[in-house]
Structure 1
Amino acid sequence: MDRTRLNLSRWQLRLSRLRRLLAASLPNRCMICHQRVLLPQRGICLTCLDAGLYSSPSCLGCGRTMSLQSAYCGTCMTTRPLKVVAPASYHQGLGETVAAIKYQGQLAGLNPLVQALVRRIHKLVAVEAISLPQVLLPVPLHPRRLRQRGFNQAYLIACELGQALSIPVQPDALMRLCDTPPQAGLTGKQRRRNLAGAFSLSDGFEYQRVALVDDVVTTGTTAMEIAKLLEGRYIQVQVWCLARAEAPHLIDQ
């Protein structure tokens, strides 16, 4: 069995195990309002989910509300920053649910948020704001952090996305070399210094278009550090996440 097929087989096995884990963790009440959730909806009721999702087109560069969906607003057209695809703002009701996935292992909200992200991706592809990548790369955890937490939420999200969109996932292509302190509470300068040289890419990586997958993008320091590494190998990068923490004044209140 060649390396590609072996990796695919391992990914499918991992996905099967993760699906069993997710199924076992799903409550029958909404994580936000605690009202009963009717199947097939899981984890978050439709009312809370719809209330937290973007209601207007938004710029993939800065998150600014736009009248018509395109890749960038007028300001970002001049600099063309890293594209961040998310179905929701971290500040509009779903942030605590995203944080609960990461810090408390409350995986019930993962599937509905991933499905919202899938719908967002399809809409952006339809208006040619993005193109689908060849492969998904979950943001890696350092092995020590992975042992402590027990799972990598970015990998869980990537597996769900890969299954929904028929895109392969390569969890071992990116490696985290340093067990850096948590980014929360650090200034932008401290975040950049914290992550400088923290990641590496496997030598045999051959894809040219990738989506970097994470749970949330706040300042974007982690995504930009990895994008710099990938772009140094002439690889096109976009970021897919469950929510982004754009500046509050950029979105409609």
Structure 2
Amino acid sequence: MPPFSPPVARSLPAVPPVLAGWLADAASLLLPVSCAGCGAPDHVVCPACRVELAPRLATVRAAPVPVPVVVALEYGGAVARVLSAVKEHGRTDALRLLAPAMRAALSRTPAGRGPTDVAIVTMPSARAAVRRRGYRPVDLLVQSAGHRVRRPAGLVLIRAIADQAGLSAAERHTNLRGAMRASETLRGRRVLLVDDVLTTGSTLAEGCRAVSERGGIVVGATCLARTAKRKEIEGK
């Protein structure tokens, strides 16, 4: 089944979470759905899987990234399956269940602390992936959390990169080195970098390099989830 292609130019409408849940459950009676996390019928994400999506905030260090990274979830189980459903199977209806965790992570950053001049810049996706999906998952995550995504894009890929899956930390770093270019509009701006999953930190490190080279100032980074336990420098 081809992926659903939602509009990405505007933020998602502000709907109270309880009302959104009722609307989704009502819609499931007319258009049957299954849980994006486990396949259980009649739920966008079932109650059991929702428990795993509850934010558990931590601020961590990833060796190649020069700034702390705020994360909300551990990548695995229902978190991995729901995010994969959004990214690879068009399940954008599950974004509202990931939104609280993304919102919580962003609230820990300068961009989430009231009026600010910090530009939220998402990690770029390969053009082929954008064409295949019809949308940029990280952009939708940020929008679902109630924040604006910088347009035009603050970071773009300027060459092809290999699939990161299965690569070692050193291979990931080599794969991404020099792959991104930052917009001239970021010169002199304070920037918050955002990605969906923190693995080795290579993607964020390349984003930091590109922004700094352009004259921007990276003040922090945020990811929805992290793949492994890392040394926490700040608890809840």
- Cα distance in structure 1, aligned partners of 2:78 and 2:117: 29
SS at match of 2:191: strand
Q: What is the aligned partner in structure 1 of residue 119 from structure 2?
A: 135
8 Å CA contact 2:120–2:194 kept in 1: the answer is: yes
8 Å CA contact 1:135–1:207 kept in 2: the answer is: no
Q: What is the aligned partner in structure 2 of residue 112 from structure 1?
A: 97
Q: Could you say which structure has the higher helix fraction?
A: 1
Alignment map for 1:1-253 (pairs within 5 Å): 14-15=9-10, 28-33=33-38, 34=40, 36-37=42-43, 43-55=44-56, 58-61=58-61, 81-122=66-107, 124=108, 134-161=118-145, 164-165=146-147, 167=148, 169-206=150-187, 208-232=189-213, 233-247=215-229
Instruction: Sort the Cα spacing of 1:80 and 1:218 in 2 relative to 1 into closer, same or farther, 3 A.
Output: closer
Shift of 1:29: 4.2
Equivalent pairs: percent with the same residue? 27
Shift of 1:218: 1.2
8 Å CA contact 1:27–1:108 kept in 2: the answer is: no
- Cα distance in structure 2, aligned partners of 1:211 and 1:46: 32
Q: Which amino acid aligns with 2:36?
A: M
Instruction: Name the TM-score, length of structure 2 as normaliser.
Output: 0.71
Relative contact order (C-alpha < 8 Å, sep 6+): which is higher?
2
Q: Could you say which structure has the higher strand fraction?
A: 2
Instruction: Sort the Cα spacing of 1:241 and 1:59 in 2 relative to 1 into closer, same or farther, 3 A.
Output: closer
8 Å CA contact 2:33–2:42 kept in 1: the answer is: yes
- Cα distance in structure 2, aligned partners of 1:14 and 1:149: 15
- Cα distance in structure 2, aligned partners of 1:80 and 1:146: 25
- Cα distance in structure 1, aligned partners of 2:216 and 2:72: 28
8 Å CA contact 1:212–1:238 kept in 2: the answer is: yes
SS at match of 1:48: helix
SS at match of 1:110: helix
Shift of 1:94: 0.8
C-alpha distance after superposition, 1:120-143 (max 9, x if no partner): 433x36xx9x85662221211233
Gaps of 5+ in 1: 1-11, 38-42, 63-75
Instruction: Sort the Cα spacing of 1:145 and 1:98 in 2 relative to 1 into closer, same or farther, 3 A.
Output: closer
8 Å CA contact 1:157–1:213 kept in 2: the answer is: no
8 Å CA contact 1:60–1:83 kept in 2: the answer is: yes
Instruction: Name the TM-score, length of structure 1 as normaliser.
Output: 0.67
Number of positions where the alignment pairs a residue of Structure 1 with one of Structure 2 = 207
- Cα distance in structure 2, aligned partners of 1:121 and 1:149: 25
Shift of 1:51: 2.9
Q: Which amino acid aligns with 2:37?
A: I
Q: What is the aligned partner in structure 1 of residue 3 from structure 2?
A: none
Q: Which amino acid aligns with 1:238?
A: G
Gaps of 5+ in 2: 1-6, 14-23
- Cα distance in structure 2, aligned partners of 1:13 and 1:224: 26
Shift of 1:44: 2.2
